[in-house]
Amino acid sequence: MENLKLNENMVYRLTSAEDSLVPVIESKLKNKIVCVPKEIDRASGIVIFGKRIKSLIFSTDISIIKNNNADAVLAVYPFTPQQSINEAVMDVSPSPVFCGVGGGITTGNRSLAIALDAELHGAFGVVLNSPAKNALISEMKDTISIPIVVTVCHDQEDIEARIAAGATILNVSAGKDTAALVRKIRKDHPFVPIIATGGNSPESIIETIDAGANAITYTPPSAAEIFGEIMEKYRTENL
């Protein structure tokens, strides 16, 4: 449908969603955002504190976190968890944030302190890496009152023990075997909330959702890749 101008800066248009038309409002200065794959809409979602979350963007890039349409942010990074990083992400993000709090090298009282700080600053949940001990999960359950997301990366994980220790949500990240692992967990645990990586194609996202994932994490292109596309466009326009 043709765009209809509302005023100097805003544009209004309609898009179809099932049997209804949805008004879409965009700004000339806010019309370029990172969009998660539309296939994620097939997921049931997980309702946390009244908000339904189907998509989580996996990033700590502040510019991407500020400019995306995902339902939430998965702020997990390959460095020692730091309160300052978590706070910066939550300060910028317009959507709920799930903060990484360790579980591997960072553990024990340090993870507990970071988790409590994340909750007090407004995190919707905390994420523990797969090496996290069940004793840590149990202590964390007694320390905070937001969901504890425990990462599962192989099919030898004792899921029963994770749930018994206090895992609220399972975050399945098993590479090419993710859908198969989700299917296995879902068979044994029909009601446990599952977040899972969706892969790089619509087909893999659909397969993971059909296997039983309630929500999907999406890894966006880097800011450098996005900027590269913009610069290429600028070069072409100036020829």
Q: Same domain for 187 and 217?
A: yes
As a whole number of angstroms, the distance between CA 145 and CA 173 comes to 24
Report the predicted TM-score, pTM, of the whole model to 2 decimal places: 0.88
Q: Same domain for 88 and 20?
A: no
Q: Same domain for 178 and 151?
A: yes
3-state secondary structure of 166: coil
Q: Same domain for 158 and 98?
A: yes
Q: What is the predicted pLDDT for the residue at 135?
A: 97
Q: Same domain for 48 and 11?
A: no
Q: What angle do CA 88, 92, 98 make, to 5 degrees?
A: 70
Q: Same domain for 162 and 204?
A: yes
Mean pLDDT of the chain: 90
Quick one: which of 147, 146, 206, 148 has its CA closest to 182?
Answer: 206
Q: Same domain for 69 and 10?
A: no
Q: Same domain for 137 and 221?
A: yes
Q: Same domain for 141 and 233?
A: yes
pLDDT level of residue 88 (50, 70, 90 thresholds): very high
- Angstrom CA distances, 121 to 3, 12, 111, 129, 134, stand at 40, 35, 15, 21, 25
Q: Which residues contact 160 (CB under 8 A, 6 or more apart)?
A: none
Q: Same domain for 193 and 231?
A: yes
Q: Same domain for 149 and 194?
A: yes
Domain hosting 9: range is: 1-31
As a whole number of angstroms, the distance between CA 152 and CA 6 comes to 48
Q: Which residues contact 151 (CB under 8 A, 6 or more apart)?
A: 103, 127, 128, 129, 130, 132, 170, 171, 172, 173
Position 6 pLDDT exceeds 60: no
Tens of pLDDT, residue by residue over 104-138, are 889 999 999 999 999 999 999 999 999 999 999 99
Scored b (16 or more CB within 10 A) or e, 12-39 reads: eeeeeeeeeeeeeebeeeeeeebebbeb
Q: How many domains does the chain have?
A: 2
Tens of pLDDT, residue by residue over 129-179, are 999 999 999 999 999 999 999 999 999 999 999 999 999 999 999 999 999
Q: What is the predicted pLDDT for the residue at 23?
A: 83
Q: Same domain for 23 and 112?
A: no
